[in-house]
Amino acid sequence: MSTAPATGSVPRQRRRVPYWDNARFACIVLVVLGHAIQRLTYDSDIAYALYLVVYAFHMPAFAIISGYFSKSDPPSRRQMARVITDILVPYVIFEALWWLTKGLVEGDPDPNLTQPSWTLWFLLALGIFRLILPYLALLRWPLLWTVVISIGVGYLPNVDSTFSLSRTLGFLPFFALGWWLREHQVVDRLRLLERKAWWARISAVAVFALAGLTAWAGLEGWHEMDMRNWLFYDQDYAHFLGTDPVTGVPWWAGGVRLLLMGVALVLCAAFFVIVPRGQFAFTPLGTYTMYIYLLHSFVLYPFRESGALRDLEPTWLWLPLVIVLSVAITVLLASKPVRWVFRPLVEPRSRWLFRDPTVTPQSGRAVDPTGARRRPAKPSERPGADA
């Protein structure tokens, strides 16, 4: 007996899980916010405290989400091509745009592909994450090894911002954790996508309140130890401590990074509890995070470099305004007109690069490296009916 579907039937497609798009949107809002308030931190203690809380977890959360949608199987030819089309080509395009911008505004373009400009480090990090994940997956205790790597590179002064290697290895445990959660079906088994009880949400809010109070109460100490740069994961420990990079790095320096990683995990857990599970007006915007990530720095650049965000008083007025502006910029850059204009830059058609054009999608469209455009989750990963 034939098992062919009835004439006219259409295979049912798996729907997207709104939760992940909501989480991506929240993360990218925090990215824009963190960059927008950076200049305010020089004149406002409360802005600096907010900055520390945001930077303590927002990029680890982004790395966890990216890792969750990554595969550890040996890459196919098409997957290898996507590293070029979705990451390397946009990286080169936007580096060239930054060279042009700096040349026109500052007179110093400093063309150097090995030193990512401003936000572009994360593109390279995603590319490196994808390349090494199949090897990590072969190891016993892969998460432990990534933690050892992240802590260990801080003792090595020769691991620096070249190809964003210091940051990449620093954030590697979070990316690996995201992959591990998917690999072991932790989200499904613990039913983490279902709506959380009221006490869980209140507890998550309390975690952030405690983090804010800690950041505020310890401002003098955070300034003294240059905490903001510790959270970037982009320098060796000797740089932070002002010691000789060869002989003067104390043994306990790696413990500071380990502690910060623990804080990041707690805040990420609280963040993922707070993220709404349902479908909202902003949910579709979470599928366009790369547009926002790549373009927002050009929007903020004139505000940051002109000094317009310095000496703004009173803080109680200007800080909320900058927060609202950050959300508005995020929404604007994900809008359809902006995507239409900048699609050739963010999602360039790169089929001409390949000897065999069939390794790229026929549409020529890129797949968001953070996983925002990847296939919908399996039915078992859908949120509960009460979401």
Backbone angle region of 247, left / alpha / beta, with phi > 0 → left and psi within -120 to 50 → alpha: alpha
Residue 12: what pLDDT? 46
Residue 1: what pLDDT? 42
Q: Where are the beta strands (DSSP E) in 135-206?
A: none
Tokens of 85: 């089309």
Rounded Cα–Cα distance for residues 25 and 287 (Å) = 8
Handedness of CA 191, 192, 194, 195 (dihedral sign): positive
pTM, to two decimals: 0.90
Closest to 267 in 3D by CA, of 61, 25, 6, 12: 61
Q: At what angle do helices 198-217 and 253-274 cross, to 10 degrees?
A: 140
Closest to 122 in 3D by CA, of 292, 377, 255, 350: 292
pLDDT per residue rounded down to tens, the chain (387 residues): 444 444 444 444 557 889 999 999 999 999 999 999 998 998 899 999 999 999 999 999 999 999 999 989 888 888 888 889 899 999 999 999 999 998 888 887 778 889 998 899 999 999 999 999 999 999 999 999 999 999 999 999 889 889 999 999 999 999 999 999 999 999 888 888 888 888 999 999 999 999 999 999 999 999 998 899 999 999 899 888 877 766 678 888 999 999 999 999 999 999 999 999 999 999 999 999 999 999 999 999 998 887 777 777 888 889 999 999 999 999 999 999 999 999 999 999 888 888 888 887 665 555 566 666 655 445 444 433 333
Residue 128: what pLDDT? 94
Residue 106: what pLDDT? 81
Closest to 55 in 3D by CA, of 293, 264, 304, 295: 264
Rounded Cα–Cα distance for residues 374 and 349 (Å) = 18
Residue 14: what pLDDT? 59
CA 143 to chain centroid: 19
Closest to 215 in 3D by CA, of 232, 236, 231: 231
Residue 63: what pLDDT? 97
DSSP track, 151-169? HHHTT-TT--SGGGHHHHH
CA 22 to chain centroid: 14
